[in-house]
Structure 1
Amino acid sequence: MTSIKRITALLIISLVATPGLYGCAPEDRIIKDSDTLLTDTTDSDSDNTAALLESAEEEIRQASLSEGLPRNQHLFRAAQILALQNQFERAAHLLSEIDEDLNNEEMALESRLLSAEIAIGLGNAREALQLLNTTRILPDPQQLRLMNLRARAFLDAGYPLESAKTRVQMDARITDSFDQQLNHQAIWEALSLLPETSLQQISHAPLNPVLLGWVELAKIAKQAQIDWQYLQDGIFLWREEYPNHPAADVFIRELGRKQIELIEQPAHIAVLLPLRGRYAPIAAAISDGIMAAYYQHPDKTYQPRISFIDTSDNQSAIWNNYRKAADEGADFIIGPFLKSAVDILTRATQVEIPVLTLNYASAQTDISTNLFQFGLLPEDEASQSAEIAFRQGHSRAAILVPKGPWGARLSHAFRQRFEEMGGHVVSEQNYIPDKNDFKQPIQRMLNIDQSYARYRSIRNVIGGSVKFTPYRRQDVDMIFLAATPKDARQLKPQFKFHYAGEIPVYSTSHVFTGKINKQADRDIDELFFCDMPWILNPPNKFKRSLIDHWPEQQRYTRFFALGIDAYNLIPFLGRLQGKSYERFSGQTGNLFLDPLNRIHRELLWAQFKRGAPALIDISTQPVNYTLDETQPAHHTPQ
């Protein structure tokens, strides 16, 4: 195998926390990678852990022998120790045993902070935010703990900008230099989660000058993901603009000076695609996207050999194509495209040549560290529809999807994520695509069919006509719709006809053709949908290249973007694999890697206004503190 040429690039500082600012709990960290732990725990071996647990048991025993305030104090100390050992459920149970009427103001505050810590540990970030939503002015140590917990909860709840804002406010209160470095790293990690589009929009908003400096620095790092030479120049200009910024000391020196993050640059890339037959048009769009990225890459010193292998004849012979690529000297492979071929590859325990597939395996299983799965996964879009709907205050959803496997996949992904966040799906219906009249599934979804049934029953009883207005169910506050543009244009107006015109509708990119058609798309005005930056952002050099050189491929424009990202992602895969907070700002979305080496896309959001998509920056939307009152709550001291 041809050896992989390596170059040095952007450093993200690796910091390991010590007690101090982060001395509140063992999970007090932004990420959990072994090389970048922002944690508040002290190192403890198994003997130390056993001793701590033994002390917790002793506190519990003492509590059983005590009454009143001493009992409260023993229970609280036991809960603290158990939370330190990540035994959050047991810690929450002990806190619930405390008689809050006996607590003084100080003890009540400490109990509230520990309850928030436990809520975060249990994955209930919104519960933690409610507990921490106070305007009380506290002494600095407690105020720092509260702000640190809020920053963590904001991040876990999906508000990285709010997390960064909170940490910028914290910074002025921190006196220890190492704690400041930890806080700076946490600010950086939070902003790294944002796509470049959001950073651009945020930088034009009125911001605290220190926060604006961090945002501008994050923008430079995003641009340097592809244009590596831009990093040094960008940092130089940033330092001139922000000479007294907190990051201008240790952090910026590390960012610009230490280049320990290695970027892999293969010398020969083999692309496996079905260049003939049914999938040839899609394959052509992907391959043209790859070549557009190749020719327009800013680093002209890096020009790998790219070869194409036609997989049309036998997709199941993927290993023959893999070996052919290896025999020709490829040290990186893009493809295959069909799911069946990806399934075959993922059964291997080890793949020697790194592979970036252009689809996902049917099952999510542990695979070779050299096998990465990438594509336009519709489930990602459905999950994000659930997230934005919940963030905008909706908790009772109706689902309307087409019959068949595709609709079932999107429905399952939406429901799973919506319910994880605390929402409820109160109605779900299927429809048959490509019809003009969707009355029956809409009426069933909204219980209007039951209203008609009641009307008919009453009419039969009284034996005459009755003045009647259908009544829809009132427990739906949003609709998730999966549809093609043609069906969406039929369905959305029929919601209004069936007395549901005011209910917000959320959908995926499949409702939009990708081309502005104001006359046709007025029928889906007010509908929210997610799509890739390639579609929603103004045309960049890559899209202009498509329009100028491949106008016939406008129909497959999203696959052209997939090809661009497949090529540009290759040097960045190691960074995505090594840091859970790392994101690649691509044409298809804000890309990240899960533990199974599956690449996911975080998309942009828009709403149809007068027949055209209007971009929404969800990173600046208000925080939703809502908790579902029907769910069992954890201990929440007053």
Structure 2
Amino acid sequence: MTIANISKRAVHLSFMAMSILLISACSGLGQDKKNAPTLFTDFYETAEYLLQQAEVVKEPKNTEWQLAAVQALTKESKYVLADSVIEYLQNKTLNAQQKNHLILLIADNQYAQNQLDKTMVSVKSIDMSVLSDQAKLHYLKLKTDLHVRKKEPKAAVDTLFILTPLLKSDEQRQQYNDLLLTQLNMLDSSVLNSFEKVSSTPGADNFKQGWYALASVYHRYQLRTNQLIRGVDAWKLLYPSHPALKYMPSQLLNLAEATPYQPSKIAVLLPLTGRFKKPAQAIQYGISYAFYNQAEAKKQLQAEQANGSSNSSFITIDGDVQDDSPVASNRIIDRDFITAPPHILFLDTNTMTMQEIADQLHNQKIDFVIGPLLKPNLKAFLPLVGDIPVLALNSFPTKDGSATSSIHYAFPLSPEGEAEQAAEMIFQDKHTKPLIFAPNSDFGRRTSAAFEARWKELSRSQQASGNGFELYPAETHFFSKDTDYGKFLAEALQTDKSKERNHQMQTVLGRKLEQEVRSRADVDAIYIISKRKQLMFIKPFMSVAISPFAKEIPLYASSRSHVKDFTNTQDKELTGITFSDVAFLLEDKTKMNEKVQAVWPQQRLSTLRLFALGNDSYSLIEQLKLLEVVEGYKFQGLVGEITLDARNTIKSKLSWATFQDGNLVEATSPISSQ
């Protein structure tokens, strides 16, 4: 017998042993089917049943049953068992389609475990031409998801152009048309306009050109509803048979209801004196920065249109299709007057009562308010201004956290919200039992409670889904400034109990035992809510506290641990720790952070986070109605991807990075927002 045959036989025996372990009495499954379920469809059969059938059916006809079992095992989050079946199948003789179906199943398994780079390698090795129809759809959907998660909009758009014409379900056509417009809108204007000339020959090119033209109109006029409505109407005249007409993206529906706030007088309420003066000033600078940037952009646009130099589209704003003259085919004629920048009034909430401020707002006919920042002020202020739109810079003071007026919105950048997203991240990374290390203070208790509450919600949801991925309650351990971190970690990881057991055994036996101290095996992730100084104490003690033969426990941290490290020494010592922060400080692809720090140098990251909050609070004024009315609408702010929930509270999706040898490496954040 050759080595190859021995290897193949060993794999087969391990597969059979695994099948026996997995399969229990299946008396309630009913009559066995003759054919395996169709791959990459939502079949109901369990992995248990499919592996049983694979044992009954003779080789090589059982291959389809085994492939279906891999799909079911991945769905049930049984990744180790899935790997065993995959290894067995890789040693079998498969035809071209089966080989590529197996690679796609491997990619699914990797994606489910958040291994995006490995998934992309697998996806790139697939020959789409030999896939079944169902597998082709699944392959294109997976490829789209990968590009979206990896923030590659051009690649996502190219894949969606292939996928959307193949879809059969009305629901999926609508879903992926929405996604296609979102990804197109993330492209640079120059890319959108590269397809602006209308082709006289209908076909595939017309399909792409229509989408690029629609996205160009949306990209340019998404904040000006009247112009957007007319631009879309003009697009419909140019593309009367375009497939998107039947399933228009949700972003372009109900546009009349999404007319943005366009205030002429804005009041900003901040504690510009006293204890919170510095945080308030950071927010004030952010608002001012956004105000001047927006005013400059409008001024530039107005100048372009006055000179007839805009080259954004070939669709006129009044809905006429132009002739082929150079001017007509190269620009939008925007006949609407561009509004002048609003007046901004900054009011100090430490020098006036909320009643005095409310009276002044009404007397001066203020038509939008940003702030207050502090919750006591917010509680007193909101009932006095039910007739004025307000974007508060804290969470609503109501018991259930909801707005009492439909024109009041909350924009909190809270540690509780960050902790909730940490729970989502740890859940997404397939951990089941997290510990939380938090300061023994009101802040630490509030933040850890938010994590625990979100973890309970995820656990209930997971239990209801019944996919076999069980979560255990999160567990919090508090430390103080006087904490002995060695003792603290020994108690949290229960190495102290292991030492005690060893000591008892030595006492009973009357001799010294050579035994390793063991740390608890149930914990598979730790979330640390601490400042940099405390994290620098905790990290080195972890390697001592964890058993040498145990798996390293992944460490997650809050933004409080992210500070400027000019020597790069501390960042190196924190290698392996994954932490969250606002996008502005981690994903500075627009170089906004560099520009801000060039004119406002040597600022702490905590100050820059508040600057980002101020900048986004002003930018959101024109976005609020779109967030409120258009389902699935998102806005990319400096703090991250922004959405609005049913309680009129702004949710911002934080970014994640990992310390690696003094550098920051981007980590994948949860798909959903907070």
TM-score interval (norm. to shorter): 0.5 to 0.7
Name the residue aligned to 1:32. none
* 2:368 paired with 1:305: no
* Letter of the 1:284 counterpart: Q
Name the residue aligned to 2:389. 354
Which of 260, 272, 287 aligns to 2:269? It is 272
Distance in 2 between the 1:265 and 1:191 partners? 28
Structure-2 change in CA distance of 1:493 and 1:165 (3 Å):
farther
Structure-2 change in CA distance of 1:221 and 1:378 (3 Å):
farther
Distance in 2 between the 1:128 and 1:267 partners? 59
Which of 619, 622, 633 aligns to 1:568? It is 619
* 2:557 paired with 1:511: no
Query: After superposition, what is the alpha-carbon deviation per residue over 1:377-398, rounded to whole angstroms, capped at 9, x for unaligned?
Result: 2222222222222222222222
Report deviation, 1:327.
Answer: 1.6
Structure-2 change in CA distance of 1:546 and 1:250 (3 Å):
same
Counterpart of 1:529 in 2: which secondary structure?
strand
Report deviation, 1:618.
Answer: 4.4
Distance in 1 between the 2:222 and 2:652 partners? 18
Report deviation, 1:219.
Answer: 9.1
* Letter of the 1:559 counterpart: L
* Letter of the 1:613 counterpart: L
Which of 444, 461, 478 aligns to 2:525? It is 478
Name the residue aligned to 1:590. 641
* 2:433 paired with 1:396: yes
Name the residue aligned to 2:174. 185
Counterpart of 1:450 in 2: which secondary structure?
helix
Distance in 2 between the 1:217 and 1:512 partners? 42
Distance in 1 between the 2:414 and 2:211 partners? 29
Report deviation, 1:564.
Answer: 0.1
Q: Conserved in 1, the CA contact under 8 Å of 2:431 and 2:525? A: yes
Counterpart of 2:423 in 1: which secondary structure?
helix
Q: State which drifts further: 464-473 or 416-425.
A: 416-425
Structure-2 change in CA distance of 1:613 and 1:407 (3 Å):
same
Distance in 2 between the 1:556 and 1:572 partners? 24
Structure-2 change in CA distance of 1:172 and 1:448 (3 Å):
same
Distance in 2 between the 1:576 and 1:258 partners? 12
Describe how 1:448-597 pairs up with structure 2 within 5 A. Answer: 448-499=495-546, 502-513=552-563, 518-538=568-588, 540=590, 542-551=592-601, 553-554=603-604, 555-597=606-648
Q: State which drifts further: 522-531 or 162-171.
A: 162-171
Report deviation, 1:464.
Answer: 4.8
Report deviation, 1:172.
Answer: 3.9
Query: After superposition, what is the alpha-carbon deviation per residue over 1:597-619, rounded to whole angstroms, capped at 9, x for unaligned?
Result: 11111111111111232123447
Q: State which drifts further: 573-582 or 318-327.
A: 318-327
Name the residue aligned to 2:282. 285
Query: After superposition, what is the alpha-carbon deviation per residue over 1:115-139, rounded to whole angstroms, capped at 9, x for unaligned?
Result: 69xxxxxxxxx999828999699xx
Q: Conserved in 1, the CA contact under 8 Å of 2:178 and 2:250? A: no
Distance in 1 between the 2:157 and 2:267 partners? 41
Distance in 1 between the 2:661 and 2:444 partners? 28
Structure-2 change in CA distance of 1:223 and 1:604 (3 Å):
farther
Describe how 1:50-449 pairs up with structure 2 within 5 A. Answer: 100-102=29-31, 104=33, 113=42, 130=75, 171-174=164-167, 183-190=172-179, 260=256, 261-297=258-294, 298-300=297-299, 301=338, 302-313=340-351, 317-345=353-381, 348=383, 351-362=386-397, 363-366=399-402, 367-421=404-458, 422=462, 424-425=471-472, 428-435=475-482, 437-449=484-496
Q: Conserved in 1, the CA contact under 8 Å of 2:490 and 2:545? A: yes
Q: Which runs of 5+ in 2 are unaligned?
A: 1-25, 46-70, 83-97, 105-131, 192-204, 300-337, 463-469
* Letter of the 1:475 counterpart: D
Report deviation, 1:369.
Answer: 0.7
Query: After superposition, what is the alpha-carbon deviation per residue over 1:43-90, rounded to whole angstroms, capped at 9, x for unaligned?
Result: xxxxxxxxxxxxxxxxxxxxxxxxxxxxxxxxxxxxxxxxxxxxxxxx
C-alpha RMSD of matched pairs (Å): 5.0
Q: Which runs of 5+ in 1 are unaligned?
A: 1-96, 117-125, 204-208, 622-638
* Letter of the 1:414 counterpart: F
Structure-2 change in CA distance of 1:192 and 1:276 (3 Å):
farther
Counterpart of 2:412 in 1: which secondary structure?
coil
Name the residue aligned to 2:122. none
Describe how 1:9-24 pairs up with structure 2 within 5 A. Answer: none
Distance in 2 between the 1:144 and 1:531 partners? 39
Name the residue aligned to 1:87. none
Report deviation, 1:579.
Answer: 3.0
Scaled by the length of structure 2, the TM-score of the pair is 0.60
Counterpart of 1:292 in 2: which secondary structure?
helix
Report deviation, 1:323.
Answer: 2.6
Report deviation, 1:466.
Answer: 3.5
Counterpart of 2:639 in 1: which secondary structure?
coil
Distance in 1 between the 2:211 and 2:658 partners? 26
Q: Give the number of the structure with larger relative contact order, counting CA–CA contacts within 8 Å between residues 6 or more apart.
A: 1
* Letter of the 2:282 counterpart: A
Q: Conserved in 2, the CA contact under 8 Å of 1:576 and 1:582? A: yes
Distance in 2 between the 1:515 and 1:265 partners? 42
Distance in 1 between the 2:373 and 2:44 partners? 48
Structure-2 change in CA distance of 1:254 and 1:469 (3 Å):
closer
Name the residue aligned to 2:313. none
Identity %: 24
* Letter of the 1:342 counterpart: L
* Letter of the 1:313 counterpart: T
Larger Rg: 2
Q: Conserved in 1, the CA contact under 8 Å of 2:418 and 2:654? A: yes
Structure-2 change in CA distance of 1:572 and 1:426 (3 Å):
closer
Q: Conserved in 2, the CA contact under 8 Å of 1:272 and 1:337? A: yes
Name the residue aligned to 1:11. none
Total equivalences in the alignment: 483
Report deviation, 1:525.
Answer: 0.9
Query: After superposition, what is the alpha-carbon deviation per residue over 1:560-587, rounded to whole angstroms, capped at 9, x for unaligned?
Result: 1100000000111011111341111000
Distance in 2 between the 1:399 and 1:461 partners? 36
Q: Conserved in 2, the CA contact under 8 Å of 1:429 and 1:441? A: no
Q: Conserved in 1, the CA contact under 8 Å of 2:266 and 2:370? A: yes
Report deviation, 1:221.
Answer: 8.9
Distance in 1 between the 2:74 and 2:449 partners? 28
Query: After superposition, what is the alpha-carbon deviation per residue over 1:336-371, rounded to whole angstroms, capped at 9, x for unaligned?
Result: 00011223345x498110000111134334421111
* Letter of the 1:290 counterpart: I
Q: Conserved in 2, the CA contact under 8 Å of 1:266 and 1:304? A: yes
Q: Conserved in 1, the CA contact under 8 Å of 2:268 and 2:345? A: yes
Counterpart of 2:488 in 1: which secondary structure?
helix
Counterpart of 1:296 in 2: which secondary structure?
helix
* Letter of the 2:554 counterpart: P
Name the residue aligned to 1:23. none
Q: Conserved in 2, the CA contact under 8 Å of 1:435 and 1:487? A: no
Q: Conserved in 2, the CA contact under 8 Å of 1:151 and 1:164? A: no
Counterpart of 1:265 in 2: which secondary structure?
coil
Counterpart of 1:309 in 2: which secondary structure?
strand
Q: Conserved in 1, the CA contact under 8 Å of 2:374 and 2:394? A: yes
Q: Conserved in 2, the CA contact under 8 Å of 1:226 and 1:568? A: no
